[in-house]
């Protein structure tokens, strides 16, 4: 099976597909506007034959309409090889409660139109799209309604599910919308009432976040006594929320976790929890641990960390990633694998 990794990030879709299909999966191309994401992707999946794009508009052209002309179809087909499945973790900020929630009113929100154009031109058999749960309700549901009607008009049997990564073997609470489809499909699994089966705890490779935390890390990840007071506080003024550490599953990893929010938002763990040490020695997770908590395997995570990117950049990339373990189960369900 050949895949196109659009808005690829560091390759969560690629990793999930490879974990399921092994050598029967090949990524023919990937595309991401962020240079650091592309560096990490190249390091994680060392395949010189994968075509790299830095801007989806280099594939579709600048869009003034979602009507596919014969010339534009020809151009897209000349630029992009054929593939069986389209992956798209399209930018979530326009739909996120942490962003401005503008939806299609944000320039990044209209990137779905590029997905639409590629699906019209290439007609892959399958697609899997991912976004934040805010996508379901933005603009009173009009954005999601447009997306689903557009997919139906293109001939795709499609549906969407709100899935929590913690139900699929990832020790992190992470709720995301997955939209799936099959061209001219009659797939019993493409049904809003039949999401991918949850993985029972006894079948999970990783049963606790504690299994992913290193016994010894650089002292720079530990909180100083000065900053610890702020991190562990419940907030001030109009914003107060109970701070908790040693969360299992972990809190949702975010694009901004490098900023070290309070323990009501980000993840911090004590030596007492990690290795029966001091309860007063508390640290943040490392970038390597963040990738593991996101569901990337150890070898992939090491290759990404070893790119030479800064901790700040790695935290951003990890927080913005699609969880490969969830992708694997969504894909298994979609393909009746």
List active site positions. 92
∠ Cα 331 298 49 (to 5°): 60
∠ Cα 244 246 252 (to 5°): 75
Q: What distance in Å separates the CA atoms of residue 166 and residue 174, rounded to the nearest whole number?
A: 7
Q: What distance in Å separates the CA atoms of residue 312 and residue 259, rounded to the nearest whole number?
A: 8
Q: What distance in Å separates the CA atoms of residue 88 and residue 91, rounded to the nearest whole number?
A: 9
Q: 119 burial class (0-12, 13-18, 19+ CB within 10 angstroms)? A: buried
Q: What distance in Å separates the CA atoms of residue 333 and residue 189, rounded to the nearest whole number?
A: 6
Q: What distance in Å separates the CA atoms of residue 22 and residue 158, rounded to the nearest whole number?
A: 25
Backbone angles phi, psi at 223, to 5 degrees: -80, 135
Please spell the DSSP secondary structure of 46-75, one letter per residue: --TTSEEES-THHHH-S-S-S---HHHHHH
């Amino acid at each position: 099976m050949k895949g196109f990794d659009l808005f690829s990030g560091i390759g969560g879709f690629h990793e999930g597909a490879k974990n399921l299909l092994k050598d029967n999966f090949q990524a023919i191309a990937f595309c991401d506007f962020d240079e650091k994401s592309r560096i990490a992707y190249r390091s994680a999946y060392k395949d010189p034959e994968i075509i790299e794009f830095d801007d989806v508009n280099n594939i579709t052209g600048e869009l003034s309409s979602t009507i596919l002309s014969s010339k534009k179809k020809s151009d897209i087909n000349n630029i992009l090889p054929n593939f069986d499945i389209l992956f798209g973790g399209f930018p979530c900020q326009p739909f996120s409660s942490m962003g401005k929630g503008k939806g299609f009113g944000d320039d990044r929100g209209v990137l779905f139109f590029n997905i639409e154009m590629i699906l019209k031109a290439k007609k892959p058999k399958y697609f899997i799209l991912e976004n934040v749960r805010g996508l379901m309700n933005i603009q009173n549901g009009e954005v999601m309604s447009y997306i689903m009607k557009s997919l139906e008009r293109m001939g795709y049997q499609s549906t969407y599910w709100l899935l929590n990564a913690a139900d699929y073997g990832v020790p992190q609470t992470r709720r995301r919308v997955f939209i799936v489809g099959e061209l001219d499909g009659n797939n019993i699994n493409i049904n809003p009432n039949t999401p991918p089966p949850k993985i029972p705890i006894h079948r999970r490779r990783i049963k606790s976040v504690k299994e992913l935390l290193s016994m010894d890390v650089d002292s720079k990840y530990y909180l100083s006594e000065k900053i610890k007071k702020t991190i562990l506080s419940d907030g001030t003024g109009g914003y107060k929320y109970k701070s908790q550490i040693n969360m299992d599953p972990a809190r949702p990893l975010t694009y901004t976790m490098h900023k070290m929010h309070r323990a009501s938002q980000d993840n911090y763990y004590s030596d007492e929890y990690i290795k029966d040490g001091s309860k007063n020695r508390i640290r943040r997770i490392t970038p390597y641990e963040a990738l593991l908590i996101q569901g990337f395997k150890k070898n992939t995570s090491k290759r990404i960390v070893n790119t030479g990117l800064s901790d700040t950049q790695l935290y951003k990339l990890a927080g913005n990633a699609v969880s490969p373990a969830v992708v694997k189960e969504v894909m298994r369900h979609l393909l009746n694998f």
